[in-house]
Amino acid sequence: MNAWSAAPITTSLFAAAALLVAVAPPPVAAHNTTQSVVAKAPPLMNKDCHKAFRKDLKDLRKQSAAIWDYHEAHFLSESTIYDGMRVLLADPNTPPEGIAQQQSAASQFLAVTQPLVTKERKKAYKALNAFEARFLDKDTGCLRRNGARVFKAGVRDWRSALESIYRAHEHLFAMNKSVAALKIDEAYEWMQADVQEMASVDKSVEKAEKQFDKLLGR
């Protein structure tokens, strides 16, 4: 699953985008999604595929953690831009050029960040699709009939988590545009939409992990 190998560059790219608009890149939150796997033959998968599945699942979790951290950085940076504008608008002594500069900063940040998220999303889905195709390939004979059903359910839940994360990114882009348009209340609503969307990610991942655990004989 070498498609996952590009994930570590996203945080540094995001930091570069943040520096472009003079927003300090936020610390990346630590997320430990890697779980130990019991080394025994799973009942729903042929033993010959056990090692490859564990390796690819580990890569999937690593990629998921990078994607999660990338959203955390995006959220914190957009929140910084939002807070800055809110303070400027609340101060009657703020000169018009100060507000204009903040509007420009928001627009620049959006212009740099949006393509990065689009690129990251394409890589994420490409990697998940490759993971799915590898173990559903009938020529490999990795999964028995019930195993294929369980595996598909796990991949479906994992894809649902990705979809939620990228919808959350879209909410942050909308938040950014609202800030640039001086619609602070609307920006706050988009921020809350992001929080609500991300709340569903953990549930989807948990459901996926339960399916994958079955394949690992847990």
Instruction: At 131, give phi and psi (nearest 5°).
Output: -60, -45
Question: Which ranges of 24-144 would DSSP assign to H, the alpha helix?
Answer: 50-90, 96-136
pLDDT of residue 218: 66
**214: part of which helix (H) or strand (E)?**
helix 184-215
What's the pLDDT score for residue 217? 76
- CA-CA distance, 180 to 106, in Å (whole number)? 6
Q: Which residues 6+ apart lie within 8 Å of 188 measured at CB?
A: 82
Report the pLDDT value the prediction gives residue 43, as an integer from 0 to 100.
57
Give 38-85 pLDDT, tens digit per residue: 444 345 777 777 788 889 999 999 998 999 999 999 999 999 999 999
Per-residue confidence (pLDDT) for residue 143, from 0 to 100: 84
Question: What is the reported pLDDT for 200?
Answer: 92
With a cut of 70, which residues of the chain have pLDDT below it? 1-43, 218
- Chain mean position to CA 188: 21
